[in-house]
Amino acid sequence: MTNRRVLAVMIAISVAAAGGACVKKSTHQKAVGDLEARLATADGRIKALEGEISSLSTGKTATEGELAKVRDEKAASEADLAELKAMREADQKRIAAFEDLQARFKSMADAGDLEIAFRKGQMTIKLPSGVLFPSASAELSEPGQKTLTKVAKVLQELGRRRILVAGHTDNVPIDKPEYKNNWYLSSARAVVVVEYLVGAGLPPELLAAAGYADKDPVASNKSKKGRQKNRRIELLLVPDLSDLPKLTKAAAAQPAS
């Protein structure tokens, strides 16, 4: 398997993670199985070529060249196999972390206070704006405060995880003098949630706020139900980027197209 094909596998896995709540384990298992079969074939070919070299008196140089080529292919396949196994282990850790997050928030999710999902490759806690704020307001309601208190308690159990608090609205223009437009409202709500989480004990250096207005919808704004889904606060658990140098190195090794 070439580096280009390895990169393709990595991209496919990322897309699968972003599109659903669970990454398919069969993707890595099939790739690993294919590579292991190729390695077994290469071992058999090497033994056959070594036998030819020992028994042939002519054509030895050509056979040795073919043997060297097969050995190189085997080494490349072994490296690809090791990389795929590491990727599979990383995905299994992500699945375990996601399942753990679902379990921790199960009671709140069952009550309809929030939803746990993979979105754009990140574990996301989605809270409907109606749970936290009155309509067209950035002032936390009493039920909203109780919800965030429960959320903060669980988040503290996760350790030092960086969290981006993102505010989202529907596409209906806001008609309140304190908010110029939906950018202002979504940003104000995100800041209010960050401040509340800090007050509830989360480290401020691990939190950030962002407002997306209606520019990142999860449903169509053409229906009342869709607009309701788009009015939300998302807590995005920022992934660990400790593997970024390795990914960058792999990408840099690709030939320019």
User: What superfamily does domain 105-237 belong to in CATH?
Assistant: OmpA-like domain (3.30.1330.60)
The dihedral over CA atoms of 190, 140, 117, 14, expressed in degrees to the nearest 10, equals 0
Domain boundaries, the chain: 3-96, 105-237
Residue 75 has what pLDDT?
80
Residue 168 has what pLDDT?
97
Q: CA–CA separation, 138 vs 1, rounded Å?
A: 53
**Is this structure's pTM higher than 0.75?**
no
End-to-end CA distance of the chain: 19
Q: Kindly report, residue by residue over 66-113, the tens digit of the pLDDT.
A: 777 777 877 877 777 777 777 777 777 777 777 888 888 899 989 889
Q: What is the DSSP string of 13-63?
A: HHHHHHHSSS--THHHHHHHHHHHHHHHHHHHHHHHHHHHHHH-SSSHHHH
What average pLDDT does range 17-44 have in this prediction?
64
Range among 2-6, 42-46, 104-108, 224-228 rated most confident: 224-228
Q: Kindly report, residue by residue over 184-226, the tens digit of the pLDDT.
A: 999 999 999 999 999 999 999 999 999 999 999 999 999 999 9
CB burial class (10 A; 0-12, 13-18, 19+) of residue 206?
middle
